[in-house]
Structure 1
Amino acid sequence: MRKLVGFSIILAVVVIVLGAYTRLTDAGLGCPDWPGCYGHLTVPEAEHHVEAANEAYPERPVEAHKAWNEMIHRYFAGSLGLCILAIAIIALIKREPDRPLKLPMLLLGLVIFQALLGMWTVTLNLLPVVVMGHLLGGFSVLTCLFLLYLRLSAFRIGYVNERVKRYAGFAALGVVVLVTQIALGGWTSANYAALACTQFPVCEGDWMTNIDLNGAYSVPEADNYEFGAHSYPERMTMHIVHRFGAIVTLLYLSWLAFTLYRRSGSRVIRQAVTVMSLVLALQVGLGVSNVVFSLPLSVAVLHNAIAACLLMVLVMITYTLYRKV
């Protein structure tokens, strides 16, 4: 089961990366139906199938490259769902006192809800709330898988300064801060606001007069949310709030890493916070690069992947402080 969970973690990271790639290549509606693509299990390629698809969806003619981006993401997500189903079945069949059961059941419920969010992403034409929820659902599945992997791992951290136990709560708060920042990034991306500010470190023009928090975090009525439905000031606000969130996250996690490294007295915790610091620095560099180099696809996709890695490291630190000290 531990090996299956480990494989599922890798698969979950791949699904998150493919989801980001799909979103960033504007392929979220590459297939206008769900779970198939124009009524097929694969992207229609035969001429008569393409003609039939174009007749059925005249407002969304077949674009093979976008459709394949979307379907490959669905194939991997479906495979992850089957792996999680297998984990839940194993947990039910081999019920033992030391083997977790609630977490596999939670994972199964999460992946079912995540599939529904994937369907609503298409049927509701990229409604930003659903798109952001789908992103957070992917990170939630990854987090629960990683927690399950840690539960199945019999590691101890050895001697630790007793005072460091009180920092478990601060580490948990760090998870909340990071997830909030991921949500802000998801909202920014879902509303196509990543390039609303093209200068760094300060947004261009008289940006302070364009701040509109109420409009930025509302959902305007629209038939289709592809390429965004908010005004420019609202998108600029999303971008600026995400930048401020990045500063808060950087400062808080840097303080947490420095404090734990100095006071823990544990080699395991020191190694974990060192990795977290390096990943955090890389994530900040990728965020800056997204602005300076106008959102290169590879950098933007990597920004999502490194966010997942940063979350896993922070979850491990929090879990270790709570359960292994």
Structure 2
Amino acid sequence: MRRLVLVSILLAIVVVTLGAYTRLTHAGLGCPDWPGCYGLIDVPETSEQIAKAEAAFPERPVEIQKAWNEMIHRYFAGALGLLILAIAVMAVRNRHQGTPMFLPLLILAIVTFQAALGMWTVTMKLMPMVVMAHLLGGFTTLCLLFLLYLRLTPYRIPGGDWSIKKYAKYGVVGIFILTAQIGLGGWTSSNYAALHCTELPICQDGWLENLTFEDSFDLIPPERDTYEFGHLDHHERVTIHAMHRIGAIVTFAYLVWLAFAVMRRAQTGFFQKVPIILLAVLFAQVGLGVSNIVFSLPLAVAVSHNIVAAFLMLVLITLTYSLKRKI
């Protein structure tokens, strides 16, 4: 079962990557229906298929590359769902052998809801709240699979570091802070606000005067035919982006403090190395965030920014879980 969970983790990373790529290539509506694409299980490519597709969906002309981006993401997500179903079945069958059952069933419930969010992303025409929830659902699935893998792995937590056991609760706080920051990133992306602050460290001159919270974080927006490319005005998008930047500063400061606090008091190599890895991934994430601004959101950097955020969370979970197992 542990190997199956590991394969699922690797596949979940691919799915999160493809989700980011699909979103950043504006392919979220590359297929205007769900779960197929213009009524097909693949993408319309022949002239006859394209003609039928555009007759059925006249408001959405076929863009083959975007459609493939979307469908490939769906194929991999579907495969991940089947693996998670297999894990849940194995957990139920082996429950009398001490195999964790609650966590696999929770992951199955989340990935089922994640499939519904994928459908609503299309049927609700990229409503920001649904897009952000779909992003968070992908991250949650990956993180819970990783937590399950840690639970199934009988690795030894070094003893002798009693002075750092209190930092387990601070690790949990860090997970909540990082989750909130990832959510802000998802809200920034889903509202197409990534390029509305073009200077560092917060935004361009006059950003404070542009702040408006009246509609910037409304979860239920006014009804529109589509939310593709955003529905908010410039001031609202500046507000969203500025809050993401401020959140990044808070997250950075907290995780740096946590890493150095654990590293300074740790006596064993394990608890000295994990904070170093956390800092390395954190600084890589900051570098990618800065590069997004300096180079105007290049696709490779923007996708990497999503993936490194996931790895940052996995390292933080490793540290927190290890500290809690030590108690």
Scaled by the length of structure 1, what TM-score is found?
0.98
How far residue 105 of structure 1 moved from its aligned partner, in angstroms, is 0.4
1:78 corresponds to: 78
Distance in 1 (CA, whole Å) between partners of 2:33 and 2:271 is 47
Matched, 1:220 2:227: no
Counterpart of 1:231 (choices 225, 230, 233) is: 233
- CA RMSD, Structure 1 to Structure 2 (Å): 0.9
Q: In structure 2, the residue corresponding to 1:195 is in which secondary structure?
A: coil
Tell me, yes or no, if the aligned pair for 1:20 and 1:301 is still in contact at 8 Å: yes
AA matched with 1:129: M
Q: In structure 2, the residue corresponding to 1:253 is in which secondary structure?
A: helix
Q: Identity of paired residues, percent?
A: 56
Tell me, yes or no, if the aligned pair for 1:157 and 1:266 is still in contact at 8 Å: no
Query: How many residue pairs align between the two structures?
Result: 325
How far residue 233 of structure 1 moved from its aligned partner, in angstroms, is 0.2
1:145 corresponds to: 145
How far residue 157 of structure 1 moved from its aligned partner, in angstroms, is 2.0
Distance in 1 (CA, whole Å) between partners of 2:201 and 2:296 is 14
1:208 corresponds to: 208
Q: In structure 1, the residue corresponding to 2:165 is in which secondary structure?
A: helix
User: Structure 2, unaligned stretches of length 5 or more?
Assistant: none
Distance in 2 (CA, whole Å) between partners of 1:233 and 1:188 is 13
2:273 corresponds to: 271
How far residue 160 of structure 1 moved from its aligned partner, in angstroms, is 3.1
The Cα offsets for residues 183-240 of structure 1, whole Å up to 9 and x where unpaired, read as: 0000000000000011122422311111012221014312210000001000000000
1:192 corresponds to: 192
Distance in 1 (CA, whole Å) between partners of 2:71 and 2:53 is 15
Task: Judge which range, 199-208 or 131-140, deviates more.
Answer: 199-208
How far residue 156 of structure 1 moved from its aligned partner, in angstroms, is 1.4
Q: Summarize the alignment of residues 81-120 of structure 1 with structure 2, pairs less than 5 Å apart.
A: 81-120=81-120
How far residue 97 of structure 1 moved from its aligned partner, in angstroms, is 4.4
1:34 corresponds to: 34
2:291 corresponds to: 289
2:182 corresponds to: 182
How far residue 275 of structure 1 moved from its aligned partner, in angstroms, is 0.6
1:7 corresponds to: 7
AA matched with 1:220: P
Q: In structure 1, the residue corresponding to 2:260 is in which secondary structure?
A: helix
Task: Judge which range, 12-21 or 258-267, deviates more.
Answer: 258-267
2:131 corresponds to: 131
Distance in 1 (CA, whole Å) between partners of 2:221 and 2:154 is 50
Distance in 1 (CA, whole Å) between partners of 2:214 and 2:311 is 32
How far residue 54 of structure 1 moved from its aligned partner, in angstroms, is 0.4
Distance in 1 (CA, whole Å) between partners of 2:102 and 2:144 is 11
Q: In structure 1, the residue corresponding to 2:96 is in which secondary structure?
A: coil
1:300 corresponds to: 302
User: Structure 1, unaligned stretches of length 5 or more?
Assistant: none
2:160 corresponds to: 160
The Cα offsets for residues 137-188 of structure 1, whole Å up to 9 and x where unpaired, read as: 0011001100000000001122232121111100000000000000000000
Distance in 2 (CA, whole Å) between partners of 1:217 and 1:88 is 36
1:313 corresponds to: 315
Distance in 2 (CA, whole Å) between partners of 1:248 and 1:202 is 12
Following TM superposition, the consecutive aligned residue runs of length 4 or more in structure 1 with deviations greater than 6 angstroms are none
Tell me, yes or no, if the aligned pair for 1:13 and 1:142 is still in contact at 8 Å: yes
How far residue 28 of structure 1 moved from its aligned partner, in angstroms, is 0.2
Q: In structure 2, the residue corresponding to 1:215 is in which secondary structure?
A: coil
